[in-house]
Structure 1
Amino acid sequence: MSGGQTDAGGAPADEPPVVVKIGGAKAVDPAGAVGDVAALAADGRSVVVVHGGSTVVDETIERLGMEPEYVESASGVTGRFTDADAMEAFTMAMAGKLNTELTALFREAGVDAVGLSGVDGGLLSGPRKSAVRVVEDGKRKIRRGEHSGKIESVNADLLAGLLADGYTPVVSPPMEGTESDGGVTPVNADADRAAAAVAGALGADLVLLTDVAGVYADPDDPDTLIESAATPADLEAIEDAAEGFMGKKVMAATEALSGGSGRVFIADANATDPILAALDGSGTTIEQSAVDGTDEDAEDAEETEAVDA
């Protein structure tokens, strides 16, 4: 395999790239996504893959004799607390194991995949957060020793160069956390928000694959799928309906659209041809017109950087 697939199939030049977020939950099978990325690449569509891996991170932490630790933020959002030991396990699982294995799956499928962590080339960077506000036993506290960060910069030139040469970047946290003294520390970052940052920087369509068909008006009833949102009122309805992990995906969707992405699709990773189906309207589609340029959840987002799923 060589790095020359970009023009294969004669894809229209005005089609934006596609950023695909593959989840890390055990319920998510990457096989369908791998096949779809191979088909898109063969047709000349530029694709960037971003993956999570919270389940494997937890398993790695446990194998090292520790317990995964989750904390509740002041806004009521639960996220991973990543101290120095947990960060070591996080890096082993994400950049070491999962990224390598997923890159191998893509290459086996004929995709010229290149595995990257957010630290490589300063791909994903921003200030390190060394303390977080949490609620324990009903009391607000400050927990120190945290290794997380907020992505403020994406090295879009690095990705664009790889895409121009026909490669498919496969990206995972950790990100490059900058210290107050100018030092660099690998830190945890939410993979959905990492995918959103990449999609915004590239002006790409974003496909967030998960283990349900999309956003449900009633989270317990799959028959209440919200198919699309094109206005701020539509988006507000989606935000009101999204609970738990889905709320974090909708937050990532709004960040991507505010950052420059044209469309975001939230869809079932286990469906037949999940990415192609999502791009064809399966799942929940959120249009750029649904975002009014404000980010009412910015403060809450600041408090949930330790989430990586």
Structure 2
Amino acid sequence: MTAVVVKIGGAAAVNPQEALDDVASLRAEGKRVVVVHGGSTAMDDALEKMGIEPEYVETPDGVVGRFTDEEAMDVFKMALPGLVNTDLVEGLQNAGVNAVGLSGVDGQLLKGPRKSAVRVVEDGKKKIKRGDHSGTIEVVNEDLLATLLDAGYTPVVSVPMLGVEDDGSFTAVNSDADRSAAAVAGALGGDLVLLTDVTGVYADPEDPTTRIARVDTPEEFAALTEAAGGFMRRKVMAAEEALSRGSERVVVATANADAPITAALDGDGTTITRDAISGGKE
């Protein structure tokens, strides 16, 4: 059972409406779709309203991500599965799609070990930062998604995920939305479309005309990884994880276009195939 997995970015510059309308078109064609979403802007807005300063950190390999302490985690649970997920489900219902909102905690949809400390780089020095509420997804409840898809529903998935503590208990924790989408796409063996506010991965991050159209070999993937920096590096990392877990292809493309999912699947973006990871060896 395969499905197209679409990750809708949460940046302020991303307008989700075209994507939601395109989901409706794909569903009308009989295609199965799972939506996974971020919510960085909604999270930052909620933190600001509560007088909490958002905190971002850089890992030693150059990946930029949010540091989520206990206070931020409480806000996170309100902003993403509450506000953003509900808004997207509402938008899909208005587009004629019978959508169901889920967080990774529901039905143990997204589960894996909780991380309470992360390695970061501050002022050029590597440090261990403690108090983090994040996790690494190792298990996806694909049976839950299959049940909904078989019944004609479109799942809309949000983090938090279910973090497993050392004693076996569970804690709701943050997980990167791109990598969450990768885990879902890999579990379902489906194509992954990462919609963002740029048209793909650029060889020169400042020049959209240098967009890398297609990546089919390990050498091309190495060049792609070298070109991707900051938040785009997370998307390349997610692409590698999705392809390694079972996806056939991943496309990084803009959400701000007519029928952006269909356009991405037709090649309008940066398409990364499984051969880029496997070298043609399965």
TM bucket normalised to smaller = over 0.9
Change (3 A) 1:240 1:140: closer
Change (3 A) 1:65 1:193: same
| Matches of 1:252 and 1:120, distance apart in 2 | 22
Which residue of the partner structure matches residue 178 of structure 1? 164
1:157 aligns with 2:143: yes
Letter in 1 for 2:249: R
Output the aligned Cα RMSD.
1.3
1:234 aligns with 2:220: yes
* Structure 1: unaligned runs, 5 residues or longer: 1-13, 294-309
Counting only pairs closer than 5 Å after superposition, residues 31-50 of structure 1 correspond to structure 2 as 31-50=17-36
1:218 aligns with 2:204: yes
Residue 279 of structure 1, aligned match among 262, 265, 276: 265
1:247 positional shift: 1.2
| Matches of 1:59 and 1:236, distance apart in 2 | 36
| Matches of 1:244 and 1:92, distance apart in 2 | 26
Residue 62 of structure 1, aligned match among 37, 44, 48: 48
Counting only pairs closer than 5 Å after superposition, residues 80-95 of structure 1 correspond to structure 2 as 80-95=66-81
| Matches of 1:140 and 1:276, distance apart in 2 | 42
1:198 positional shift: 0.2
Which residue of the partner structure matches residue 188 of structure 1? 174
Percent sequence identity is 65
Which residue of the partner structure matches residue 183 of structure 2? 197
Residue 45 of structure 1 aligns to a residue whose secondary structure is coil
Change (3 A) 1:77 1:229: closer
Which residue of the partner structure matches residue 296 of structure 1? none
Letter in 2 for 1:171: V
Which residue of the partner structure matches residue 96 of structure 1? 82
Scaled by the length of structure 2, the TM-score of the pair is 0.96
1:116 aligns with 2:110: no
- For each residue in 1:162-206, what CA deviation from the matched residue of structure 2 results, as whole angstroms up to 9, or x when unmatched? 101110000010000011111110000000000000000000000
Residue 130 of structure 1 aligns to a residue whose secondary structure is strand
Letter in 2 for 1:55: T
Change (3 A) 1:38 1:248: same
Which residue of the partner structure matches residue 255 of structure 2? 269
Letter in 2 for 1:246: M
Which residue of the partner structure matches residue 72 of structure 1? 58
Residue 147 of structure 1 aligns to a residue whose secondary structure is strand
1:27 aligns with 2:13: yes
| Matches of 2:208 and 2:58, distance apart in 1 | 28
Residue 97 of structure 2 aligns to a residue whose secondary structure is coil
- For each residue in 1:233-253, what CA deviation from the matched residue of structure 2 results, as whole angstroms up to 9, or x when unmatched? 121121121121111111101
- For each residue in 1:272-298, what CA deviation from the matched residue of structure 2 results, as whole angstroms up to 9, or x when unmatched? 1100111111111111111128xxxxx
1:263 positional shift: 0.8
1:29 positional shift: 0.2
- For each residue in 1:108-157, what CA deviation from the matched residue of structure 2 results, as whole angstroms up to 9, or x when unmatched? 11001000000000000001111112233344332221100000000001
Change (3 A) 1:42 1:231: same
1:223 positional shift: 1.2
Aligned residue pairs, count:
279
Change (3 A) 1:292 1:104: same
- For each residue in 1:18-67, what CA deviation from the matched residue of structure 2 results, as whole angstroms up to 9, or x when unmatched? 00000000100001100110011111100000000111101111111211
Residue 160 of structure 2 aligns to a residue whose secondary structure is strand
Letter in 1 for 2:150: A
Letter in 1 for 2:166: S
Letter in 2 for 1:22: I
| Matches of 1:147 and 1:177, distance apart in 2 | 9
Residue 202 of structure 2 aligns to a residue whose secondary structure is coil
Scaled by the length of structure 1, the TM-score of the pair is 0.88
